[in-house]
Structure 1
Amino acid sequence: MAIGVLALLGFQLVDSAFIARLGTAPLAAQSFTFPLSFLVIGVQVGLGIAIAAMISRTLGAGEQERARRLGLLVLLVGAALIALLVLLLWWVQEPVFARLGADAATRELIRIYWAPQLLAAWLGAALYFGYSLFRAHGDTRLPGKLMVITSLVNLTLDPLLIFGIGPWDGLGLPGAAWATVIAFSCGLLVLGRRLLRTDWLARDGIAAELRHSARPFAGIAGPAMVSQLMPPLAAMLAISVVADLGDTSVAAWGLASRLETVSLMVVLAMTMSLPPWLGRCYGAGDWDQVHRLMRLALKVVVFWQLGLGLVMAATASWVALVLSGNPEVRDELATLIRFLLPSYALLGVCMLVVSAGNALGWPLRAMLLSCARLFLFYLPCLWLGAQWGSLTGLALGAAVGNLLAGLAAWRMLRRILDRPQRRSRCREGPGPHRPISGGRCNRPN
């Protein structure tokens, strides 16, 4: 999954790097779309969390037939919800981008890019739901391979569609979105063929399963989506602060946002691959294994992200040189890298705790932690930093917010998992959130 996430997020960073060669205005236009793109991603990830959690718990409890019904149901519901969201975002684009600070010329650039980008977002969401189904059944290899394949297709098409070839001038900014549309379409074709060869989907009893599972699914998906929707909302508020510093700062912030997701590849891979395993342990009531898994995961996150952050901070000037040809954008991007990248060690801790919470039966706590990370720590520190010292102060404030969020997540996780009653409940017999007879907690194949 780490390899797949690196490939998937890497091509998004490559998109921005190619667009940066078109000039500051197209890059700023793309950067203004990030908050709304993250909104779609937030909903899709929240639904994906619920898909993986419910199906893995059902498999852990030995209910194979119900897992098959859930498989088809969640794919259909998820695709329909994302389609409605995409149509809404197309309808409200003009007032939203104006409110974010985009001027008339920038909004004109956004308009020709936004339609194919929303189509790519819907295709990517449908592909992600398929990935979630495979992960719930313990197969992380196919999602990882498809992430690599779609990234390579996108990487090949990006320069051709953006800049053209021979006498053809290319599409410019919209070319990046159309490259993603083609790449995700190829991934969906492969995923659909593989799904048809499995026995993970069942049409019989779908209506009854919908009535039976709607409430528990919403109980997981609702808080998970709220948790995932907080970052796009925070991103909108953050970019409105950055917009006051000018287009150069917006462009640098957009590149830094892409670099952030790539640098968090291991964390993101663990938030996708660990919850299905935790869900099976939850279904079987094996809390000792939960403790061992979380301790190991947190050690990996802290050591990996801190080491990577320090290396990136030391080489910030060279990284910025690769990503941007504009000297002003390059200097501001280097400043953001030096402050932000090391702070992702504790940001990763917070992300992992939120992801685990949705799999372990405390989605409301996970949602509250996600809200606190952004609106109690990150945004206030970001705003105070911007008031204190322009872009440098903004970068320092964002880093402090990440550090405070990570410490709060660590404290909450220790308080929850160290409670003796968490283990004693697992010995009380069948019941809500207790092991079901015949359930097994084993590592997915």
Structure 2
Amino acid sequence: MAIGVLALLGFQLVDSAFIARLGTAPLAALSFTFPLSFLIIGIQVGLGIAIAALISRALGAGEDARARRLSSLVMMIGGVTIALLGVLLWAFHVPLFKLLGADAATLGLIGDYWAPQLLAAWLGALLYFGYSLFRAHGDTRLPGKMMVLSSVINLVMDPLLIFGVGDWQGMGLPGAAWATVIAFSSGLLIVGLKLNRTDWLTSHQLWPEFLRSAGPFAGIAGPAMVSQLMPPLAAMLAIYVVAGLGETYVAAWGLASRLETLSLMVILAMTMSLPPWLGRCYGAGDWTQIQRLLHLALKVAVVWQLALGTLMAVLAPWVALTLSGNPDVQSELTLLIRFLLPSYAALGVCMLVVSAGNALGWPLRAMLLSSARLFICYLPCLWLGSQFFGWWGLVAGAAVGNLLAGFLAWQVMRRILSRPHRQAGFVN
């Protein structure tokens, strides 16, 4: 999963690097779309968390027939939900991006890019739900391989569609979205064929299962989606603050956002692969194994992110030079890398605790922790820093917010693991 996440997030960073070669304006336009793109991803991940949790619990309890019914239901419900969200985001994209601070010229660039990007997001969501089924059944190899394959396809198509070939001048910014459409369509075709060869789906007894599982599913998916929607909402507020400083800062912030997700690849891989394992232990009542798994995961998160963050802080000027050709953007991005990446050790702890909470029957606690991370720790520190010290203060404030969130999550996890049977509430 770590290899797959690296490939998937790597091609998103490659998108940004290619678009940066088009100029600061297209890169700033792309950066404005990140919060709404994260909104879609947040909902699909929230649904995916519920998928993995309920199916893995059913499998852990030996209810294979129910697992098949749940798999079929979530694929249908998830696809329709993301499609409706995409239609709404297209219908209201102009006022939404104006609220984020985009001017008329930027709105023109966004308008050409947003429709194919929404199509790509829907295809990516369907692909993600398919990955969730494989992960719930203990297969992380196929999702990892497919992430690598789709990344390679995107990497090949990006320069062709953005810059063109021969006499064809290319599409510019929309070319990046169409490259993603092609990559995700290819992956979805292969995953669909693989699913067709399994016995994980069924068309029988879906309505009774829906009535039975709607409550437990909503009990997990609702708080999980709210937790996942908090980061895009916080990202919208953060980019609003950054936009007040100027277009160069927005461009640097957008590149740092892509670099953030790439640097968190191991954490993201664990948030995908750990919950099904925890869910099976939860279904079997094996709390000793749950405690061992979580302690190991938190140790790996801290050690890995500190080592990576320190290395990236040293290499920050060269990384910025690779990602942007604009000297001003390079300077601001270097500062972001040096402050933020080491602080992701604490952020990783918080992400794992939230993920574990959703898998272990504590979705409300996970949602509250996610909310506290963003709206008590991260955004206030970021805003206060920008008000008193400008760009430097904003960057330092974001790093301090991550550290506070990590400390809070560690205290929450220690308290929960000290009395697991009393804290947990089993969800059928």
Amino acid across the alignment from 1:433: F
CA shift in 2, pair 1:199/1:20, >3 Å: same
Instruction: Please give the secondary structure, in 2, of the residue aligned with 1:9.
Output: helix
How far residue 433 of structure 1 moved from its aligned partner, in angstroms, is 1.9
Q: For 1:365 and 1:287, how far apart are their aligned partners in 2?
A: 18
Amino acid across the alignment from 1:231: P
Q: How do residues 378-389 of structure 1 correspond to structure 2 at under 5 angstroms? A: 378-389=378-389
Q: Give the aligned partner of residue 399 of structure 2.
A: 399
Q: Give the aligned partner of residue 134 of structure 2.
A: 134
Q: Does 1:375 align with 2:375?
A: yes
Q: Give the aligned partner of residue 289 of structure 1.
A: 289
Amino acid across the alignment from 2:98: A
Q: Does 1:433 align with 2:426?
A: yes
Q: Give the aligned partner of residue 7 of structure 1.
A: 7
Q: Answer yes or no: is the 8 Å Cα contact 2:47–2:225 preserved in 1.
A: yes
Amino acid across the alignment from 2:390: S
Amino acid across the alignment from 2:78: G
Q: Give the aligned partner of residue 440 of structure 1.
A: none
Q: For 1:240 and 1:5, how far apart are their aligned partners in 2?
A: 28
How far residue 387 of structure 1 moved from its aligned partner, in angstroms, is 1.0
Count of residues in Structure 1 that have an aligned counterpart in Structure 2: 428
How far residue 93 of structure 1 moved from its aligned partner, in angstroms, is 0.5
Q: Give the aligned partner of residue 307 of structure 2.
A: 307
Q: Give the aligned partner of residue 206 of structure 1.
A: 206
Q: Answer yes or no: is the 8 Å Cα contact 2:220–2:363 preserved in 1.
A: yes
Q: Give the aligned partner of residue 241 of structure 2.
A: 241
How far residue 368 of structure 1 moved from its aligned partner, in angstroms, is 0.1
Provide, for residues 49-84 of structure 1, a one-character-per-residue CA deviation record: whole Å limited to 9, x for no partner: 000000000000110100011111100000000001
Instruction: Please give the secondary structure, in 1, of the residue aligned with 2:138.
Output: coil
Amino acid across the alignment from 2:270: M
Q: For 2:403 and 2:235, how far apart are their aligned partners in 1?
A: 18
Q: For 1:356 and 1:134, how far apart are their aligned partners in 2?
A: 19
Provide, for residues 303-324 of structure 1, a one-character-per-residue CA deviation record: whole Å limited to 9, x for no partner: 0000000000011000000000
RMSD: 1.1
CA shift in 2, pair 1:69/1:322, >3 Å: same
Q: How do residues 54-133 of structure 1 correspond to structure 2 at under 5 angstroms? A: 54-133=54-133
Q: Give the aligned partner of residue 366 of structure 1.
A: 366
Amino acid across the alignment from 1:412: V
- TM-score (normalised: structure 1): 0.95
Q: For 2:324 and 2:392, how far apart are their aligned partners in 1?
A: 19
Q: Does 1:168 align with 2:168?
A: yes
Q: For 1:139 and 1:303, how far apart are their aligned partners in 2?
A: 26
How far residue 283 of structure 1 moved from its aligned partner, in angstroms, is 0.3
How far residue 421 of structure 1 moved from its aligned partner, in angstroms, is 4.1
How far residue 390 of structure 1 moved from its aligned partner, in angstroms, is 1.5
Q: Does 1:356 align with 2:356?
A: yes
How far residue 388 of structure 1 moved from its aligned partner, in angstroms, is 1.8
How far residue 9 of structure 1 moved from its aligned partner, in angstroms, is 0.3
Give structure 2 stretches of 5+ with no counterpart.
none
Q: Percent identity?
A: 75
Q: For 1:386 and 1:420, how far apart are their aligned partners in 2?
A: 41
Q: For 2:263 and 2:426, how far apart are their aligned partners in 1?
A: 35
Q: Answer yes or no: is the 8 Å Cα contact 2:287–2:420 preserved in 1.
A: no
How far residue 392 of structure 1 moved from its aligned partner, in angstroms, is 1.2
- TM-score (normalised: structure 2): 0.99
Amino acid across the alignment from 1:36: L
Q: For 2:286 and 2:134, how far apart are their aligned partners in 1?
A: 23
